[in-house]
A and B are shown apart, each in its own frame.
Chain A
Amino acid sequence: MKKIVVPGEEIEDENVRTHVYRDNGKKYSMIHGVLYKTEGYSKIIPLTHRYMPKEGDTVIGIVESVKYGGCIVKLNAPYDAFLETREDYEIGDVVSAKVESVSEVKDIKLGNERKFHGGEVFDIDPSKIKRIIGKKASMVTMIKEKTGSKIFVGQNGRVWVKDGDIEKVEEVMRKIEREAHETGLTEKIENYLTGDK
C-alpha cells in the first residue's frame, strides 16, 4: 500500500520510524512524502528534500576556492565541505569524494577524492536518486547504454556526464525526477530512450 502524507498527519503504523515525530503518545509525519507499507515493513519517503551530508555518502562537488592544505567544495547542500588534499586543484574542478565526517555544527570533511576531466554536471532532487540509479543500478546502466555517455551519480543529487548524448541524459533524468512515483517507470524510460532515437 502507498499513500501521500503531509506534515502533521497522524501515522498509526507502528513500523514507521523515520520522518516522524512523537507528541503526547501520538506519531505524526514531519514531511510531505509517500508512506509505503508492506507486510511488517513501513516507511515514509520524502517527495523532495534538500541534501544533507551524511558520513559515508559518495558525493560530487565543485571546487569553489583553493586553501592551504586543500579546497572548499560546493555540494548542492546548505553547507560547504572541506577536501584535504595535496593535489593541485583549480576553481571549477569537478570531483567525486566520500563524506568522511560531519560535525554537530555541520563542518564537513571529504576524502577519497577523484577528479573528473571534462564533462558536465547538473543537479536533480536528491530524493529521486534511488530511482535514477535503479535496482542493482539497472536504470543508470540502461541510460549509459542507450546514450553512450559516461555517467556518475552522487548521493547529493549531482550528476556528472561525459561523452555521448549529454542533453539526452539530463532530459531523461528530469523525466525520472518528475515521474519517480509512477508505476512501470523502468519500462516507460526504456521506451522513451529507444523511441526517440
Chain B
Amino acid sequence: MKEKKLMKKGKRLDGRGKEDLRDITIEAGKLKRADGSAYLEWGGNKIIAAVYGPRECFPRHQRSPYKARLDYYYRLAPFSVEDRANPKPSRRGIEISKVSAEALSDVVFLEYFPNTTIDVYTVVLQAQAGTRCAALTAASVALADAGIPMKGLMPSCAAGKIEGEVVLDLSKDEDQCGEADLPIAYLPNKDEITLMQMDGDMTPKEYEEAVDLAVEGCMKVYEIQKKALKEKYRQFNEGGE
C-alpha cells in the first residue's frame, strides 16, 4: 500500500468533509426499449440500469407459483476500468448480483406476479469506487420507473474508514488506501438494512458509527432518487386541477 495523506485539517483530498457524499445525479426513463430505466452519475461512476418485466419466466423449472423471481445482473463494461475488464462475468460480479437481488427481493411485492420473472440489468460504464451502491441506487429508480410495486425506494451508500476516521462514500483513492469499506442498502420508511457487506478493520464502535453514517448517506441518496422520479414528469402540473 502506498503511503498517502488522505485527510488534511478535517478535509478529504477531493475537498469533502467526513460526512459528505460525492455529487450524484439520476435521470429516470432514459431508455426506450426497457420497461423501466435510470442513468446515474455518482462522483466518477456512470451507470445505466434497465428493468424488464414482470415477464414470462424461462426456463420453466425456475418458476414459482407463489411469487415472481427477481434476477439482478451487475456488469462492468470492459472500458469502465483502467485495465480492460474481461467481458465474462467475474466471481466478484456474481456475488454482488446475488446480494443485490436478495436486497431488492425484500422490497418488491413479488407475490403479485406468480410464475414470472423481473430482470434488473445494471451496467457500469465508468467505475470510480462504490459501484455496487451506485448500481443498486439506479436499479431501484428503474424498478419504480417500470411501475413495479415496492415497499419503497431503496437507496444504497457506503461508509468507510480512512486514517482512523469514519467517513462517508469512499472515493477511489480512499478505497484503495483506506482501512475499511462498509456498503449498505436501506429501506427508509421501514428503517431496515437490506444489504450489508464489509471488508477491512474496524472496532465494534467504529462499525456502529459507520452503519449510522451510511444510513445518513442513504437518506441523502433517497432524496435524489425521489427527485429523479418526480422530474421525469416535471411538465406535469402539480397542485390545482
Contact = CB atoms under 8 A, between A and B. Distances in A.
Interface size class of A (residues with CB under 8 A): 20 to 34
Contacts of B35: 48, 50
Contact of B233 (A49, A181, A183): A181
Contacts of B225: 6
B147 A8 contact: no
B55 A78 contact: yes
B189 A10 contact: yes
B53 A4 contact: no
Interface in B201-241: 225-226, 229-230, 233, 235-241
Interface stretch (B42-50, B89-97, B113-121, B128-136): B113-121
A166 interface: no
B174 interface: no
A104 B189 CA distance: 30
Interface stretch (A23-31, A54-62, A91-99, A138-146): A23-31
A26 B152 CA distance: 13
B237 A183 contact: yes
A156 interface: no
A192 interface: no
Contact of A46 (B147, B230, B233, B237): B147
Contacts of A115: none
B109 interface: yes
A155 to B, nearest CB: 16
B54 A78 contact: yes
A19 B144 contact: no
Contacts of A21: 109, 151
Interface in A1-43: 1-4, 6-10, 19, 21, 23, 26, 28, 30-32, 34
Interface string B11-46: 000000000000000000000000110000000000
B241 to A, nearest CB: 7
Contact of A8 (B65, B114, B150, B238): B150
Interface of B: 35-36, 53-56, 65, 109, 112-116, 144-153, 187-190, 225-226, 229-230, 233, 235-241
21 contacts: A1-B239, A1-B240, A4-B229, A4-B236, A7-B151, A8-B151, A9-B226, A23-B190, A26-B189, A30-B149, A31-B149, A32-B147, A34-B236, A47-B147, A48-B35, A50-B35, A78-B56, A78-B115, A106-B115, A182-B237, A183-B241
Interface of A: 1-4, 6-10, 19, 21, 23, 26, 28, 30-32, 34, 46-50, 52, 78-80, 104-106, 127, 181-183
